[in-house]
Chains A and B, each alone.
Chain A
């Protein structure tokens, strides 16, 4: 098992898999990221992040029914695992916690 450290892109993809439940597959995730985060990714990049997350045990996958739009091919639908959900929560929590520790002063920008 690779280290449980979650990269920025990984976190992004993981979040979107959660958002798209139960229809998260390669192209859908790519589109959603573009729409929500305004980041244009190549499908292969999304793909490799998805498989990496699956290897880390944060996602699981199953094959969907064949669809006409893909020439009768099936999609690989990704789902969050319990570990995936937990790691999202942890990341979120950590971020909030850290954010809350920033002194108020530091956040006040002066324009002068």
Chain B
């Protein structure tokens, strides 16, 4: 016989690459040639063999997935897989339903979050030069960060920094606008006074008119599409005129498209920057012009900068000091810092006050993304748990498939096909739910997302990605799991080795429960904090008070001149309502508590200009303290008996006493204060109250009677017949101010509005928590079903041996209670970390207490126990004869 054998590795290589149906003849030929040659020389034969093997290594002979002789995954096989998948879904309605609901909810949530997050991240990207646009942020010497900057920076910047291509100031304000020849007057918000360079920086789409002269000529105005329709309907607005503040006529020279909803800056009209001075009377105009031309301290306009291609803002940020030294009066250099922030970062990363629109934070975005992924994960885990549990009922099917020659890979494909079917079906449903839920999301977040716009290529691509990932994640493990069944014992119906898998399944459930606990305790704490904010005593009366805005918001409300006829009319209105039953008092201010303070340079006695103290200022009328029930600690309230109060009296809060080192409130009385030139004495000290939202702490506050700054009328009334009281007030108002609509808002609602952002955040987290808990419960249900099924015989035997129902229930329950406790223990530190991070937003915050966690633990235990009770009680009550007979 033949003793020599061809080189093993070459033979192996041939077997490895060669198509199985060709292997026999090729191997035969090469071996035959080898043996023939081996008779002459062994080494030559080996070389020949290797050579031949290499020569056979051609495309034609190489294995591939599909071939004409035999197909591993033919379409008919795939059809069969989908068919069995479908039959399985129908057969196990309960399982499938649980799974389907879980997956659909998870996916819908993921889609909603995706839509929201993408919108939040897309802010200001629509400007063509977005990547080169920056805006200055202003850090005042006391550390306060303000979004608006002193106006004289802009004109000097371009010549000083060569890398600056364009720079423009933008000042948004309200203006009363009248269509000439009619009595219609609108209080227009967000009228933008802007330097003409802005048209070269931002992307404006001109619908009508010429973009070249935009913002160049005095007294011209550009309207947005919406505003144009509001004032002129379908008529062509070009060439028409509008009267601003009853003083100056402006000619409409163009119409531009409204900025999209994801812009940090919104506007209704565009007007040349310089024209804002012309809306004031002559005296104010002069003061304003002089002040704004050289004042490097006052925060006024937003300053946008377009850098040249390839430049970074670092140089400017580092050398602004030199710039200021060169351009500003040395008296005004008090350590203010200006730095550029990328335009596209403003919405999510700005921590400056007074942004033109509400901002969001990256941490919120991360939380949303995290919660979305967690929810999807819970849903996927459910799928894994339920399908592995269910696969025990399919042992026979799998066994038979294996016996009939199904390869491992085919079984894997089968299970993946099943989970794919499921995921796709869930996805279709989730898109439908997404469509239905989108308006709700809009309500929750104040966005204007439109389904047809949200669904774009990227979202679809991402969705497909998620479906694929879910298919692999959810189908992969069950597939791997069933392929390891021993086929013979599977057919016999014998027990499968599964100790470790049981462990994994338990670990997954623990993970799910941990997430549920986390979200649950988190949402409890968020609700607790919001309640805390709403119920915390603020130090003043907030119920039964309405605020009426009096006039157009002027430039920072600073330079307003008293309009004597308006004052008389206002006084007569106040006299009228004072006599009205149900009305308690009324007072004027530059903004009721909770908003409206202006930070101004202040020199208290014992300090100098160099100390750079900025204090919150509120202009308040005589009976301000009485109306808002603010307690006086020392001294007195403003009083008409002292003629000098209107000119030189300050009332300060206790914090001011402390900060200015005046020891006691009593000692503070009579101290002098110089506020931007207005000199006065302290006449009273009041108890601290929260004049800003609870996200900030109480700082020194100065009250003074500055009539020209009053812009809010606050009326306190009794708690009876509120509607009637307000109706009568409205009648009075309309008699005296026929040209202006009666607008009012309740103070407590206004105050709660400050927390609207947090509230919607809380609401979103609560919704997520609810859904996550629901899905987790579904998972637990699946697991208990599995446990009970596996323990049918054990339970039967135990019952026969005399176990009572409670004993058997204990058997099922103790496992789960252990799992919950374990999940809870894992959840507590994580939830504690995140919640304390979130609470950092607030200066006044509720405590993270043991109670909250106890409540969430007990709730989850109860919810889960309820979930598993049906199956476990049924198992415990079952007739042992039946369960033992099952084979």
Contact = CB atoms under 8 A, between A and B. Distances in A.
Contacts of B51: 42
Given A27-B32, A51-B60, A44 B52 contact: yes
Given A73-B27, A73-B28, A74-B25, A42 B33 contact: no
A76 interface: yes
A4 B427 CA distance: 52
Interface in B33-77: 33, 35, 51-52, 55-56, 58, 60
Contact of A70 (B31, B55, B58, B60): B31
B24 A27 contact: no
Main secondary structure, interface of B, reads helix
A75 B33 CA distance: 13
B56 A69 contact: no
A70 B28 contact: yes
Interface residues of B, number: 18
Interface string B4-39: 000000000000000000001111111111010000
Interface string A23-40: 001110000000000000
B575 to A, nearest CB: 107
Contact of A42 (B2, B24, B25, B52): B52
Given A43-B33, A43-B55, A48-B60, 15 more contacts: A25-B29, A42-B51, A43-B29, A43-B56, A44-B56, A45-B55, A47-B25, A47-B56, A51-B60, A69-B35, A70-B32, A71-B28, A73-B24, A73-B25, A75-B28
A58 B618 CA distance: 103
Contacts of A26: 25, 29
Interface in A63-81: 63, 67, 69-71, 73-76
A76 B24 CA distance: 9
Nearest to A77: B25
A43 B25 contact: no
Interface of A: 25-27, 42-45, 47-48, 51, 63, 67, 69-71, 73-76
A76 B55 contact: no
A73 B27 CA distance: 8
Contacts of A43: 29-30, 33, 52, 55-56
19 contacts: A25-B29, A42-B55, A43-B30, A43-B55, A43-B56, A44-B52, A44-B55, A44-B56, A45-B55, A48-B60, A63-B25, A69-B32, A70-B28, A70-B31, A70-B32, A73-B31, A74-B25, A75-B28, A76-B25
Contacts of A75: 25, 28
Contacts of B60: 48, 51
B32 A47 contact: no
Contact of B58 (A44, A67, A71, A74): A44
A43, A44, A76 — which one has the most chain B CB atoms within 10 A of its CB?
A: A44
Contacts of A47: 25-26, 29, 56
Nearest to A44: B55
A69 B58 CA distance: 25
Ranked nearest first, the 4 interchain pairs of A and B with the lowest CB-CB distance are: A73-B28, A44-B55, A70-B28, A76-B25
A39 B30 CA distance: 19
Contacts of B26: 47
Contacts of A42: 51-52, 55
A54 to B, nearest CB: 12
Nearest to B23: A73
B28 A74 contact: yes
Contacts of B2: 71
Interface string B199-241: 0000000000000000000000000000000000000000000
A76 B177 CA distance: 97
A53 to B, nearest CB: 13
Contacts of B56: 43-44, 47
Contacts of B31: 70-71, 73
Contacts of A69: 32, 35
A16 B863 CA distance: 83
Scoring B24, B25, B52 by chain A CB atoms within 10 A of each residue's CB, the highest score goes to B25
A9 to B, nearest CB: 15
A51 B26 CA distance: 12
A15 B221 CA distance: 94
A23 to B, nearest CB: 13
Contacts of A63: 24-25
A75 B55 CA distance: 19
Contacts of B32: 27, 69-70
A47 B53 CA distance: 12
B33 A27 contact: yes
A45 B56 CA distance: 8
Nearest to B60: A48
A26 B61 CA distance: 15
Contact of A25 (B25, B30, B58): B25
Contact of A48 (B29, B30, B35, B58): B58
Contacts of B27: 73
